[in-house]
Amino acid sequence: MAPLPQRDGVDPVRVRLPADPEGRWATVGDHLLDRFAGAIGAERVRALLADGRFVAVEGPVLGDEPYRAGLYLWFHRDFAPEEPVPFPVGVVYRDAHLVVADKPHFLATMPRGRHITETAVARLRRELDLPQLQPAHRLDRMTAGLVLFVVRPWERGAYQTLFRDRLVRKEYEAVAPYDPGIDLPRTVRSRIVKERGVLAAREEPGEPNSESRIELLEHRGGLGRYRLLPATGRTHQLRVHMNSLGLPLVNDPVYPVAEPDAAPGDFSRPLQLLARVLEFTDPVTGEPRRFESGLRLSAWPGQYGLSGPSRSTRPGAGPPRRSWWSRRGRCAPRSPGPG
């Protein structure tokens, strides 16, 4: 258990002091200056130490303590101001084990990079008063829809294993151009490579490591509404596979060509990709589970066809007025989603 509480739903950072066989650091403060001064400046490190912001199990560390390899310290990073994402996180289902949430477009699942407090997990921890809540998997920031969170930390591994072992049936919905010359449904298999620091993934020759089934649900006005069923979980897999067919998703800022970043506060072009269904056998309770998103894609306004949700009340990714989840998800009412 960390000796520091969360701040704005975000856990403190934990660091472990490494072995020092050469005796480089006489004190804990010497090491912290060496470790963090390049990132935040020596004066800021000294200020954090003076304010007792570095904490060991025994209490605050002021920096003059003798260096001790293996010592764990916790501290909170300074959060840079973040642009609020003006859409709520809807709670689809909640019990003693799980929270299933409808993440809106533009909101990261968990803290990463410049997105720290404006993340789904931080928001839900604050709003539901569940400080130990953890995601079992991750959904891209630009994708909306279902994310599974685990209430009890000791059960998280069981749910993560479901995703690792591909025991979760995932169904996505997308809006993209309609091309009558493309024969659907079809299964796309390819080798996808995503390099660290490179925005776009790419396909290359070699043994396939990704597989997606692509189905056309309906079409009108030059656009199609598609059901996407990934059998694997490579980064950007569905976007890459749709683009490879000549059907890039509406409002995709990366495929086929990377676009400049949107201006801060510009939420006008949500990627038309929605994680609509999660289905699995619960590894803790043994129950069959099926959850459906209450959100919808703004590029497909009006009534859905028979194969999809039946009602919509708002532009953007918003829910029907009222519906009920499948009894396999224990029949909980839908919560409001972003409008």
Share of the chain above pLDDT 90, in %: 79
pLDDT tens digits, residue range 277-291? 999 999 999 999 999
Rounded CA-CA distance 150/289 in Å is 14
Residues 71 and 200 in one domain: no
Please identify, among 49, 75, 101, the residue that sits at the C-terminal boundary of a domain: 75
pLDDT tens digits, residue range 157-186? 999 999 999 999 999 999 999 999 999 999
Nearest to 316 by CA among 333, 292, 296, 290: 296
Strand boundaries in 154-287, DSSP class E: 169-177, 186-193, 202-204, 210-220, 223-230, 273-281
Rounded CA-CA distance 331/339 in Å is 23
Residues 69 and 147 in one domain: no
Reported confidence tier of residue 197, pLDDT bands at 50, 70, 90: confident
Question: What number is the average pLDDT over the span 303-314?
Answer: 41
Cis? peptide before 66, omega within 30° of 0:
no
Confirm whether 4 is domain-assigned.
no
Count CB-CB contacts under 10 A for residue 166. Answer: 12
User: Regarding predicted confidence, which is higher, 317 or 45?
Assistant: 45
Residues 27 and 119 in one domain: no
The average confidence (pLDDT) of the chain is 89
Confirm whether 85 is domain-assigned.
no
Nearest to 101 by CA among 142, 147, 170, 150: 147
273-287 b/e (C-beta count within 10 Å ≥ 16 → b): bbbbbbbbeeeeeee
Cis? peptide before 256, omega within 30° of 0:
yes
Residues 30 and 146 in one domain: no
Chain Cα centroid distance, residue 155: 19
**CA atoms within 13 A of residue 267's CA, in its CB half-sphere:** 19
pLDDT tens digits, residue range 34-79? 999 998 999 999 999 999 999 999 999 999 999 999 999 999 988 8
Residues 204 and 307 in one domain: yes
Count CB-CB contacts under 10 A for residue 6. Answer: 15
Confirm whether 218 is domain-assigned.
yes
Query: Which pLDDT belongs to residue 305?
Result: 53
Query: Which pLDDT belongs to residue 312?
Result: 31
Confirm whether 334 is domain-assigned.
no
Residues 165 and 251 in one domain: yes
Query: Which pLDDT belongs to residue 303?
Result: 61
Count CB-CB contacts under 10 A for residue 261. Answer: 8
Confirm whether 338 is domain-assigned.
no
Confirm whether 225 is domain-assigned.
yes
Question: What number is the average pLDDT over the span 289-294?
Answer: 98
Question: What number is the average pLDDT over the span 115-127?
Answer: 95
Reported confidence tier of residue 261, pLDDT bands at 50, 70, 90: confident
Residues 103 and 188 in one domain: yes
pLDDT tens digits, residue range 228-254? 999 999 999 999 999 999 999 999 999
Confirm whether 3 is domain-assigned.
no
CATH number where 228 lies: 3.30.2350.10
Residue numbers of the domain that contains 48: 13-75
Is 134:156 a contact under the CB 8 Å cutoff? yes
Reported confidence tier of residue 27, pLDDT bands at 50, 70, 90: very high
Query: Which pLDDT belongs to residue 306?
Result: 42
Please identify, among 75, 105, 122, the residue that sits at the C-terminal boundary of a domain: 75
